[in-house]
Amino acid sequence: MKKLFFLFAFLGAMFFTNAIQAQSYNSAIGLRLGYPVSVTYKKFLTESNALELFAGYRGNTFYNWFSVGAAYQIHKPINGVENLQWYFGGGATALFYSYDDGFDFGDSGSVGIGIFGNLGLDYKFPDTPINLSADWMPTFFVGSGYLTGFGGGYGALSVRYTLN
């Protein structure tokens, strides 16, 4: 019985090691330096499919904005450059915001939903646990107040620490 257990443990370890080597990293955590600045966690579900989760905050004197979201991404290698991939996908975000115009009228707070596309580049440095990505996220907002309609200027540079 012990021999059978060790055989399955060895085969499982070999399978797990090969699965990690097929992808330059398995998961990573870091910052999305965009609009808004966010904490990001990216996890590969398969060799080419990843899920990215993010939560961010942006604010100034007149408004505060907190968002959470998720993106499903499909990664494709770029031939000729090791560890560089391009990706596409989409996702959704929930936005919680408040607006204060400095007077006693016109103030509002609300919740909005954003549905977005995702297009970007992803690079894992070969000898360090650092991953960089840059993306564009055209977003269609459904909500009240000023967060309604199409926004084509969203995207970010992400810097992450890889966890595998």
pLDDT tens readout for residues 30-80: 999 988 899 999 999 999 999 999 999 988 777 788 999 999 999 999 999
Residue 103 falls inside a structural domain: yes
Total structural domains within the chain: 1
Residue 10 falls inside a structural domain: no
Residue 4 falls inside a structural domain: no
- Strands 37-44, 49-59: pairing kind: antiparallel
∠ at Cα 121 (117, 125), nearest 5°?
145
> Which pTM does this prediction carry?
0.78
Count of CA atoms in the C-beta half-sphere (13 A) of 82: 5
Q: Does residue 147 register a pLDDT over 80?
A: no
Give the integer Cα–Cα distance in Å for 34 and 27: 20
Sequence letter at residue 106: G
Q: Which domain holds residue 137?
A: 25-162
Identify the CATH number of the domain in which residue 44 sits.
2.40.160.20
Give the integer Cα–Cα distance in Å for 148 and 114: 9
**Interval 70-96 mean pLDDT:** 95
Question: Average pLDDT over the chain, rounded to whole?
Answer: 82
Band (101; pLDDT cuts 50, 70, 90): low
Residue 137 falls inside a structural domain: yes
Give the integer Cα–Cα distance in Å for 107 and 17: 55
